């Protein structure tokens, strides 16, 4: 399976699938269609069932059940086809370092780019394995082409080996995860799964079931603008000064991203725009504990109210929008999807780890929408920049873990409910190969 997995990864990584924020269309860029259409034709050639690519760029397919048991849950596996807009992704040249010798990897197209195992212990431990990097001028896009290649290779393997017993498996390749629009237009009734996993993580053994809960706050400060020449007489009130006051009043110790780690949340002023008459500050608020997140919102509102009281002539508003929620808030109620993933990891001879992610995943949204979706490792490292790499053997481990996992669901999951299916969908999903 190694060569196929590697060949697939390299083939997909070469396609520029960068996503763009605020594009107003899905997918946000045409390059994502190129990969989606390629995957669609490959899935058809492999003999997958119900292959469909919709007008918003969601590619779905089914691997029909091989188990005769009637009640095995429908498990979906997801990976996103887009790559991050943070760094150049034009003309990606994946380089394979077979049986890597353990020395710093100098990227040939920009020799200042050196991936040094002294700085990355997760690279150092991969000595002797097969590493793929970019060439120095682009990112690699292992996030999440690794996940895409693993799911495609898994599909090929399962379709060629009907003796492996599993329930119905749904595959989903989606656009625009990196610009936080990955799940915006996914129809969960169309996906028709009881439980799901994203393959969008790094280190072998990682099973992530806790993410941040996230809100955005927009503070708008309206001042009084006059000609600066007679501002004293005409009573100028400068919104910029008020914005500065607000930022200074916001403590940084233990509550900003730069001073927090692990399970500590933060209030982060991410963007400021405006002038004398009107200034807007956008904050992002993060905490693993959703109740604590709400308190952070209250704290910010309190600071705004204080500023308003001190300057009655200004008009200050603070509007808080929910972005996503910690998937653990739901998964804790039934840990079956997590415990089976742990078992699938242990069957590889690895001890599972579950760091609480300081961010969100597509699964945060899905879980909140009712489809339990932990995130599994895919073997990519240091993503979103030129010094990114994947370890082929770690992608293989991820593939093997998925095989274990689907068989465990077949053996052990009787009675698990997860997200209920619509009747017609349920009947269709249960139809066997
Ligand atoms: Zn990703």
The tens digit of pLDDT for each residue in 345-383 reads 999 999 999 999 999 889 999 999 999 999 999 999 999
In this prediction, residue 25 carries a pLDDT of 94
Q: With 70 as the cut, is the pLDDT of residue 433 above it?
A: no
DSSP state of 28: S
C-beta separation of 290 from 325 below 8 A: yes
In this prediction, residue 254 carries a pLDDT of 85
Q: What is the CATH number of domain 213-323?
A: 3.30.70.360
Average pLDDT of the chain, as a whole number = 95
pLDDT (average), residues 223-229: 95
Domain range 2-210+327-430, its CATH number among 1.10.540.10, 2.102.10.10, 3.40.50.1700, 3.40.630.10: 3.40.630.10
Q: What share of the chain is helix, strand, coil (3-state, %, to 5)?
A: 35, 20, 45
In this prediction, residue 431 carries a pLDDT of 65
Q: Tell me the domain boundaries of the chain.
A: 2-210+327-430, 213-323
Higher pLDDT, 184 or 152: 152
In this prediction, residue 70 carries a pLDDT of 86
- Ligand 1 centroid – CA 355 distance (Å): 16
Q: How many CB atoms lie within 10 A of CB 207?
A: 24
- Ligand 1 centroid – CA 12 distance (Å): 15
In this prediction, residue 241 carries a pLDDT of 97
- Ligand 1 centroid – CA 388 distance (Å): 13
Cα separation, 63 vs 1, in Å, equals 18
The tokens describing 213, both together, are 């809960």
Q: With 90 as the cut, is the pLDDT of residue 183 above it?
A: no
C-beta separation of 105 from 133 below 8 A: yes
Q: With 90 as the cut, is the pLDDT of residue 148 above it?
A: yes
- Ligand 1 centroid – CA 346 distance (Å): 24
In this prediction, residue 2 carries a pLDDT of 56
Residues 234-277 have pLDDT tens digits of: 999 999 999 999 999 998 888 999 999 999 999 999 999 999 99
The tokens describing 322, both together, are 């929910």
Q: With 90 as the cut, is the pLDDT of residue 415 above it?
A: no
Q: With 60 as the cut, is the pLDDT of residue 385 above it?
A: yes
Q: With 80 as the cut, is the pLDDT of residue 191 above it?
A: yes
Q: What residues are annotated to the active site?
A: 82, 177
The tokens describing 379, both together, are 């073997």
In this prediction, residue 184 carries a pLDDT of 81
């Amino acid at each position: 399976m190694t060569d196929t997995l590697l060949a697939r990864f390299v083939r997909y990584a070469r396609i520029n699938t960068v996503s763009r924020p605020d594009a107003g269309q899905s997918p946000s860029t045409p390059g994502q269609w190129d990969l989606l259409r390629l995957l669609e034709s490959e899935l058809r050639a492999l003999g997958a069932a119900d292959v469909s690519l919709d007008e918003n760029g969601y590619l779905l397919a089914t691997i029909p059940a091989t188990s005769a048991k009637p009640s095995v849950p429908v498990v979906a596996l997801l990976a996103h086809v887009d790559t991050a807009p943070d760094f150049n992704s034009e003309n990606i040249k994946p380089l394979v370092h077979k049986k890597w010798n353990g020395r710093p990897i100098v990227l040939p197209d920009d020799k200042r780019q050196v991936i040094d195992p002294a700085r990355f212990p997760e690279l150092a431990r991969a000595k002797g394995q097969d590493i793929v990097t970019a060439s120095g001028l682009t990112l690699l896009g292992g996030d999440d082409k690794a996940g895409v290649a693993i799911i495609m290779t898994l599909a090929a393997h399962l379709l060629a080996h009907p003796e492996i017993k599993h329930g119905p498996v749904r595959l989903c390749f989606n656009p625009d995860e990196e610009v936080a629009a990955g799940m915006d237009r996914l129809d969960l009734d169309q996906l028709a799964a009881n439980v799901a996993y994203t393959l969008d993580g790094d280190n072998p053994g990682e099973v992530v079931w806790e993410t941040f809960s996230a809100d955005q706050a927009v503070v708008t400060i309206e001042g009084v603008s006059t000609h600066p020449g007679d501002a004293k007489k005409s009573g100028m009130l400068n919104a910029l000064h008020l914005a500065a006051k607000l930022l200074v009043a916001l403590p940084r110790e233990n509550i900003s991203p730069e001073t927090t780690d692990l399970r500590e949340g933060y209030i982060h002023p991410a963007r400021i725009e405006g002038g004398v008459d009107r200034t807007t500050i956008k904050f992002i608020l993060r905490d693993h504990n959703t109740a604590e997140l709400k308190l952070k919102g209250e704290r910010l509102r309190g600071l705004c109210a204080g500023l308003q009281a001190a300057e009655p002539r200004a008009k200050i508003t603070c509007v808080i929008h929910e972005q996503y929620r910690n998937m653990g808030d739901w998964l804790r109620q039934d840990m079956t999807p997590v415990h089976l993933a742990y078992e699938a990891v242990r069957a590889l001879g690895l001890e599972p780890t579950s760091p609480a992610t300081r961010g969100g995943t597509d699964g945060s949204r899905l879980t909140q929408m009712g489809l339990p979706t932990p995130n599994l490792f895919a073997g990519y490292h240091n993503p979103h920049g030129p010094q990114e790499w994947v370890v082929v053997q770690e992608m293989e481990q991820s593939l093997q873990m998925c095989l274990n996992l689907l068989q465990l669901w077949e053996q052990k999951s009787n009675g698990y409910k997860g997200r209920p299916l619509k009747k017609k969908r349920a009947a269709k999903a249960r139809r066997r190969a």
